[in-house]
Structure 1
């Protein structure tokens, strides 16, 4: 827990330090496009279409039986499936990235940046495909109770990201090189974790046979239930910069990202709180300790509300904080834009808190239905309203998320443990 918390705090600090360097080197529009593509690559590296959750459960059960042979077979089967997914994505995505007029689509006005848009998108796709199989490594680390190793490599990846950004800024790298350096960090981080984990587990360095067809079908079937929710949650985080870029160009995405970075301390604090909490809730629910579940859930709700209040305070002082942080490299976003971005963040935090609670209590179908609905409505609102301006896009997106909350709240009330 302490290692994970320290790694997340270090990552937040590295992220905050990275912004002024990139902003001053690339300019507002270049930074907006850069952060949109980096954000998409980073977030979609965590989207494994539910396969990771199914893998982790299967490997954790095998670890409990001390069946390392089955762990290895599950790991290699999952990694192979993710590799195939990456190759298929490249086969479809690269021609589209290189042939379509993305500079015009993304409303880029910088004459030097305009012809590089397609190649930039291709670089982001390649980086995502390279990093995708390493999702299996992080799931393996969790399943065999080596979370401290994963946390250490998260910190190492953050350090590598700030180091490459600083060097690229110092050396005056162009936009495409700057983008490649940033988007390849997850793949390097995943490779480092894989080598370290292999050595720690004392596994042989050769591969293992894949799972039998029946076991693989069962694994994919378990994973399918989590796919819509996982994809929806990732899209709600990745979608705003892209939607805002389509609405008003990369400069709007840059403004939103500055606010996102300011909100990262409360959002990361929620992640630190809930990551160990939901397994504890699940365990207490399994043994029938309803009073503990109720107390923990109430405290988690109060903590989420407090972190939402912290986001409101950050928004109130956003102009001062941004000026002190990046100086004249960027202008503070308009007040209405900032408050809408804050509302989007708070709604995401509320959605995540309800999802964690319902997953812990085994209400997976409710999560799959209502969380996916909210994320889909938020995503649709952002993009459908984007042509009418940035404020309308954020407002419509927030309304979509709000429409998904009643179903989750109702499911949480039905799942609320009562005293026997």
Structure 2
């Protein structure tokens, strides 16, 4: 492999990590500052409802049939093969397909929103039915539009500019922090007002990124006449549908915890879970800074048959993982102290929950090291099978931990962790087979 390909790829990876550290660091800081403000603004119970609402809204991104991830791989592959016109065709078709999906989902959601018992879904009477419905409608509308505009994040990844995705998150979080603080100072607690703040911030960041991207990469601007072409849609779906099934399975494992907590213990217990999880997300964010830029770099290296570079990066990631484990251990011992300063000493958290979430982050981070390489190579079959197993066993395990072993909220997190252990074994095995690690 020529140094002309290796050196720029490595240098760009380092630049993206540095940019991500700056932007993501600010985004994380803003997300931490906003939590106590939201709890003070809404109260513990309503905050639990709001957090659950955001989780449900986040499910919408999984209805793209994996096209976002398929687009990222196909555009990166086309550019690696010096075929920008093919990349443009994939981009045009992706916008066309997602645009149609957004329209259909919006019509379906608004048709059924008046027939759903929103208080039943959130297991609460502290917020009126009409307020919950309106909040869900506002949040869903913004999420669906961003579902389409948000394809820009896949494209930034494809051209190995993933640091800019963190810049968009920084804009969103700072906007939400400032406006939420103003709401707290000037108005009564309202979930619907937060839905507007969340939506405008989320959409605004991706609109700005899209404007920058298509100004810099004019040759990739989508063309209406290239949209919905069969020879572009079929490859996107061929790759994307496997990503979709994996995403759907991961959805069950990663985002049903709050639903289970709300139904089994009540929404007031979600605040404790959310605060502890947010604290440990520092580790997740740190790992995302160093791993996310690798996805399309792996794609480029894989299609150039540069296994030496891939193995070198994997070994570097494994060395960094030892630092992550050390950070998790330290955080377990300091968690209650940090939360006391951050939220308040009256806010009680369970040490069992702290340890459970630390274990969950350790396993999911390990999996992500190998999943990132496999995603870049498009070799996702083993991920697909292990994710499906995790999806099937997660909820039964959670019910077993709570109903039989009486482990409380920590039992729900432990169940999610155990369901990820299949991937923890088989993903490294597939990577070693793929790149012939010795």
Shorter-chain TM-score bucket reads 0.7 to 0.9
1:20-419 equivalent positions in 2, closer than 5 A: 20-42=36-58, 44-45=60-61, 48-63=64-79, 70-110=86-126, 112-113=127-128, 116-147=131-162, 149-173=164-188, 174-202=190-218, 208-209=224-225, 210-280=227-297, 293-327=310-344, 331-360=347-376, 363-378=379-394, 381-382=397-398, 389-415=408-434, 417-418=436-437
Distance in 2 (CA, whole Å) between partners of 1:98 and 1:368 is 36
> Structure 2 vs 1, CA of residues 385 and 81 (structure 1 numbering), >3 Å: closer, same or farther?
farther
SS in 2 for 1:98: coil
Quote how far apart the aligned CAs of 1:296 are: 3.4
Give 1:250 deviation, angstroms: 1.9
What's the CA shift for 1:242?
Answer: 2.3
CA contact (8 A) 2:294 2:373 kept: no
TM-score after normalising by structure 1:
0.86
Q: Secondary structure at the match of 1:332?
A: coil
What runs of 5+ residues in structure 2 fail to find an aligned partner? 1-15
* CA positional deviation for 1:286: 6.0
The offset of 1:11, in angstroms, is: 0.8
- Which shows bigger deviation, 201-210 or 69-78? 201-210
Could you tell me how far apart the structure 2 residues matched to 1:237 and 1:297 are? 25
* Residue 18 of structure 1 pairs with residue 37 of structure 2: no
Which ranges in structure 1 are unaligned for 5 or more consecutive residues? none
The change in CA–CA distance for 1:282 and 1:385 in structure 2 (over 3 A counts) is same
Decide which moves more: 296-305 or 3-12.
296-305
- Structure 1 residue 213: deviation in Å? 2.1
C-alpha deviation, 1:130, in angstroms: 1.6
Equivalent residue pairs, number: 417
> Structure 1 residues 187 and 360 mapped into 2: Cα distance closer, same or farther (>3 Å)?
closer
Instruction: Give how far 1:70 is off.
Output: 4.6
- Tell whether the 8 Å contact from 1:73 to 1:208 is kept in structure 2 after alignment: no
- Say which SS state the counterpart of residue 226 (structure 1) adopts: helix
The secondary structure found in structure 2 opposite 1:99 is coil
Asked if the contact 1:52/1:136 (under 8 Å) is kept, the reply is yes
Cα 1:336–1:355 change in 2 (3 A) is same
User: Post-superposition shift, 1:377?
Assistant: 3.0
Measure how far apart 1:269 and its partner are: 1.1
What is the distance in 1 between the residues matched to 2:106 and 2:114? 11
Report the TM-score, using the length of structure 2 for normalisation.
0.83
